[in-house]
Amino acid sequence: MLKITQETLGVGFIGAGDIAILHAAAVKKVPGAKLVGLWNRSQDRATARARDFGCKNYANPEELVSDPAIDAVFVLTNLESHLEYTKLALAHGKHVLVEKPVGMSVDEIQQMKTLADAKGLTVLPGHNYVYESSMIRTRELVEGGDLGTIVSAYVMYNIHHPEEVAKRYPGVVRQILTHHSYILLYLVGAPVELCAMKANLHYKEFQEEDIAMVQMRLKNGALAHFCASFAADDHAADPWTVMVKVIGTAGSTRYSYRDHVEIKPGLVHSQTYTAYAGSVANEVKHFLVDCLRLGAPPLSSLADAITAQKMIEACEESIRTGSVVKM
């Protein structure tokens, strides 16, 4: 793995949408790292973001990846273009952080992995939740046997999204259950079978699903459950806004968005869920410091992204056929 030893680690963004705001703030917090510049398809937005971030606005992505001042490229564009820009950055010898969902298919993610491996470069998939300290601690407890035999795991998401926001995404199966999938892989491993259902309950023009649920069986016989919903917020006591639980015969753990909430609008949410921005900052720090400076691997790899994509495609097959799908 190629490590970066120069004093300043240069970063470039391909894509300057809302998520770029969190990534720019995260880069700013890393000592010795600098956001050199960005490119965005809409030059009006690119100009505004470059001014806000205090960085260069490149004329095209080729100019950005060719700049020797840039060591790492963050691919923050729409899902359909992730493969194109990741391959472009790797071809120019740049390390890459690529937002999730990483690719449109297993084959796309495998292409990224094959090229990165051949060049000795790091590609970190944007699996930001696993960089939370509570997630890392949960994995330690599971691996150490402190929770006993794992009985069940739950990953819940209930955050209402207006239709104009939801239309930016491919539906909750790909947009949200991808998060759920890599979280489950990181904490307790892959399922051996699953079944899924979805519905569209209140969007009119947007035809994709606004809620989906998945039931799974793990290798040891334990059961897991996913819920991903843009349909409604959970206003109950101790709401399941974003909740992760792992329950074992000797103990259990919990991670919740509700532990850190600011009463002000977020990027696309009615409130600011501080944990989300924090997880992006932790992810960026791990990428730039642990991976690129110290040579450590990502906590969740492209191999994990491939398995997560297989889970998503299994969910889609289960929905399409109304059947339990073996993994």
> Tens digit of pLDDT for each residue in 52-90?
999 999 999 999 999 999 999 999 999 999 999 999 999
If asked whether residues 22 and 115 sit together in one domain, one would say yes
> For residue 45, what is the domain's CATH number?
3.40.50.720
Confidence of residue 273 (pLDDT cuts 50, 70, 90): confident
What mean pLDDT comes out for the span 261-285?
85
pLDDT of residue 1: 65
Structural domain boundaries, residue 35: 9-126
Same domain? 64 vs 189: no
pLDDT digits (tens, 9 = 90+) for 17-47: 999 999 999 999 999 999 999 999 999 999 9
**pLDDT tier for residue 3 given thresholds of 50, 70 and 90:** confident
The pLDDT-based confidence of 4 (bands split at 50, 70, 90) is confident
Number of domains into which the chain is organized: 2
Q: Are residues 171 and 319 in the same domain?
A: yes
Residues 150 and 103 grouped into a single domain: no
With respect to residue 290, please indicate whether it lies within any of the assigned structural domains. Answer: no
The model's pLDDT over 159-184, given as tens digits with 9 standing for 90+, comes to 999 999 899 899 999 999 999 999 99
Domain presence at residue 301? no
313 lies in the same domain as 165 = yes
| pLDDT tens string 110-136 | 999 999 999 999 999 999 999 999 999
Give pLDDT, residue 69: 97
Domain boundary among the residues 71, 101, 126 is at 126
In a domain, 249, yes or no: yes
Task: Dump pLDDT digits (tens) for 217-233.
Answer: 999 999 999 999 999 99
**321, part of any domain:** yes
pLDDT at 174: 95
- 142 and 219 both lie in a single domain: yes
pLDDT bin (cut points 50, 70, 90) of residue 192 is very high
Residue 155 falls inside a structural domain: yes
What is the spatial distance between Cα 319 and Cα 321, in angstroms, rounded to a whole number?
6
Contacts of 232 (CB under 8 A, 6+ apart): 158, 160
Which residue, among 102, 229, 225, has the nearest Cα to 172 in the 3D structure? 229
In angstroms, the CA 142 to CA 209 distance is 33
* Residue that terminates a domain, selected from 68, 102, 126: 126
Rounded-to-integer distance, Cα 277 and Cα 9, Å: 22
pLDDT of 267 above 90? no
pTM, 2 dp: 0.95
β partners of residue 261:
273
Q: What is the end-to-end Cα distance of the chain in Å, rounded?
A: 31
Asked which of 100, 126, 152 is the last residue of a domain, the reply is 126
Q: Are residues 136 and 232 in the same domain?
A: yes
Q: 28 and 46: one domain?
A: yes
Evaluate whether 266 touches 286 at the Cβ level (below 8 Å).
no
Same domain for 136 and 265, yes or no, is yes
The reply to whether 165 and 245 lie within a common domain is yes
Q: Which residue has the tokens 């921005």?
A: 277
The answer to whether residues 58 and 147 belong to one domain is no
CATH number at residue 240: 3.30.360.10
**Residue 178 forms part of a structural domain:** yes
Q: Are 226 and 180 in contact (CB under 8 A)?
A: yes
Percent of the chain with pLDDT over 70: 99
Residue 294 resides in a domain:
no
Residue 314 and residue 219 share a domain: yes
12 Cβ partners below 8 Å, 6+ apart? 35, 36, 37, 38, 39, 58, 64, 65, 67, 70, 72, 73, 74, 94
pLDDT at position 270 is: 73
- Establish if 99 belongs to a structural domain: yes
Interhelix angle 177-187/133-144, nearest 10 degrees: 40
